Amino acid sequence: MAQAPAPKEPRSALSRQLVTSELLDTATALFAEKGYESTTLLDIAKALGISRPGLYNYVSSKEELLTMLVEQVSQGLADVLERLTARADLSPTEKLRDVVALLVRQRAEHPDQFRILDRSETVLPEPVGSEHREARRKILREVMAIIEAGIDSGEFRQVDARTAALSLLGMCNWVAWWFSRDSDVEETVATVTDLAQNMLLAQGSASTSAETVRSVEEIRMILDRIAPRR
């Protein structure tokens, strides 16, 4: 008896994920250019090169796009950070570097997604607005937990964990506003990650000061290429 063909769900799921990612990037770019209210589903379909009925295979309304953005940018990140924080095989410093790298890479590669959510936070429809705000609170809690664990272990210096977490998140989030698409994503990830680590490392190591100076110089060079000083 002939065997049944192998199921195609994994490939279909991957294809859908890729299309959804492209859809979100296209939609958020249009929202940024034309404004959320002025952008139609037909505009998004045309930009993707598909028909409007074809677009309905992935999304049925602009509000659903906002929900997808919250799920991917806010809730998705919060879930990843929760799993990362729970890992016993990583030190607080390693967790910190992983968190910052994840944040910076997402902001650099998909800046419009973060910008739209940041600008629309106060007007997001319910329940997506509440879900987004809860995800942001969860992200802050997870970053604070990493910092507190680093302080307890002696890896990080004594700082207020909430203030440090907010400062770190602000530094990462700001990448979405200043990063240039012509810049090197991995170079930026490495530089900001080093800055975040050196901001918190316990003092007493000669290499800590040297690494901080080097990291500041590296990010200054990146910023000069993006917006040269006059």
* 73-124 confidence digits (pLDDT tens): 888 889 999 999 999 999 999 999 999 999 999 999 988 888 888 887 877 8
The full DSSP string for 63-86 is HHHHHHHIIIIIIHHHHHHHHHHT
Q: Centre a 10 Å sphere on the Cβ of residue 203 and count the other Cβ atoms it contains.
A: 7
The answer on pLDDT for 2 being more than 70 is no
- pLDDT in the model for residue 216: 53
pTM (predicted TM-score): 0.74
Q: Which CATH class is domain 12-60?
A: mainly alpha
Task: Map out the domains of the chain as residue ranges.
Answer: 12-60, 65-226
CATH superfamily of 65-226: Tetracycline Repressor, domain 2 (1.10.357.10)
- The model's pLDDT over 118-149, given as tens digits with 9 standing for 90+, comes to 887 877 888 888 988 999 999 999 999 999 99
Mean pLDDT of 194-211: 72
Closest CA to 40 of 19, 60, 20, 62: 62
Rounded to the nearest integer, the mean pLDDT of the chain is 82
Residue with the two structure tokens 């993707």: 48
Residue 64 clears pLDDT 80, i.e. is over it: yes
Q: What pLDDT band is residue 178 in, cutting at 50, 70 and 90?
A: very high
pLDDT score, position 206:
37
What pLDDT is stored for residue 21 in this prediction?
76
